[in-house]
C-alpha cells in the first residue's frame, strides 16, 4: 500500500484511507452496492473535497479520475505559473537590484523560507487541512468550535479532550493529523482500542 494521500467517509465512518486510486476503488465498490449513501472524499494535503464521477466500470472511472502517470522523454517541466504580486515601492526597488532578476529573487526567497522553517510550514498546512476536513465532517459535533480553537492554538491535550466523545473513525483521523501538525506534543501516531479509547 502506498502513501495515504486521500480519505473517504460515509457519514462519520471512514470508508477508505490511502492513495487516490485505492480510495476511489473502495468508493466505487461501495457505491455499486449502495448508491443512496453520500461519500465525501478528501485530499489529505489540503483538506479539500475531491469531486469524482462514478459512471462506467471501475477501470473507466480510474482512467478518468486518477490516471496512472506516463513518463515522457527528457526533463520534467518546471510548471512555472504566472500570478500577480503586490509589493511596496521599496520592495520592487530591492528586487530590481538583484542579479537574478525579480522572479529569480522571489523564487530564491521562497525556497530559503521553505528550508529554514520546514516544520512550522508543514504544521500550518496540516492544521489548515484538518480544519477543512472537520468543518465538513464534524461541524455539527459537540464542542466543535472549541476543538477547532484548540487545534489552531496548538493545544493538543485540550483538542484531544474536546473530541473524546466523537465517533471513533472521525476521532482517529483528527488526532493523527493533529499530532502531525503539533509535533512538539508527541510524534507517535495515536491508536484507539476496540472500545474506541485512546491508547
How far apart are alpha carbons 86 and 123 in whole angstroms?
A: 26
What's the CA gap between 151 and 147, in Å, rounded?
6
Radius of gyration in angstroms for the set of CA atoms belonging to the chain, rounded to a whole number: 21
How far from the centroid of its chain's Cα atoms is residue 178's Cα? 11
pLDDT tens string for the chain (199 positions)? 578 899 999 999 999 999 999 999 999 999 999 888 999 999 999 999 999 999 999 999 999 998 887 766 655 556 667 778 888 888 888 888 888 888 888 888 877 776 765 678 888 999 999 999 999 999 999 999 999 999 999 999 999 999 999 999 999 999 999 999 876 444 444 445 555 554 4
Entry pTM: 0.71
Domain ranges of the chain: 6-65, 90-116, 119-185
Report whether 150 contacts 158 (CB < 8 A): yes
- Identify the CA nearest to 117 among candidates 129, 109, 107: 109
Q: What is the edge-to-edge ordering of all strands in the sheet holding 13-18?
A: 13-18, 6-10, 39-43
Amino acid at each position: 500500500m502506498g502513501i495515504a494521500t486521500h480519505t473517504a467517509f460515509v457519514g462519520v465512518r471512514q470508508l477508505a484511507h490511502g492513495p487516490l486510486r485505492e480510495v476511489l476503488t473502495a468508493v466505487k465498490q461501495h457505491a455499486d452496492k449502495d448508491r443512496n449513501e453520500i461519500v465525501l472524499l478528501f485530499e489529505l494535503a489540503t483538506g479539500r473535497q475531491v469531486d469524482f464521477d462514478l459512471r462506467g466500470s471501475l477501470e473507466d472511472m480510474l482512467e478518468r479520475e486518477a490516471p496512472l502517470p506516463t513518463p515522457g522523454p527528457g526533463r520534467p517541466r518546471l510548471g512555472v505559473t504566472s500570478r500577480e504580486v503586490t509589493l511596496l515601492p521599496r520592495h520592487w526597488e530591492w528586487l530590481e537590484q538583484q542579479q537574478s532578476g525579480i522572479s529569480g529573487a522571489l523564487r530564491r526567497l521562497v525556497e530559503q523560507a521553505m528550508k529554514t522553517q520546514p516544520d512550522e510550514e508543514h504544521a500550518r498546512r496540516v492544521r489548515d487541512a484538518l480544519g477543512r476536513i472537520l468543518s465538513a465532517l464534524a461541524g455539527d459535533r459537540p464542542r466543535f468550535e472549541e476543538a477547532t480553537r484548540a487545534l489552531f492554538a496548538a493545544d493538543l491535550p485540550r483538542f484531544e479532550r474536546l473530541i473524546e466523545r466523537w465517533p471513533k473513525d472521525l476521532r482517529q483521523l483528527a488526532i493523527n493529523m493533529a499530532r502531525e501538525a503539533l509535533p512538539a506534543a508527541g510524534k507517535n501516531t495515536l491508536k484507539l482500542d476496540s472500545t474506541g479509547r485512546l491508547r
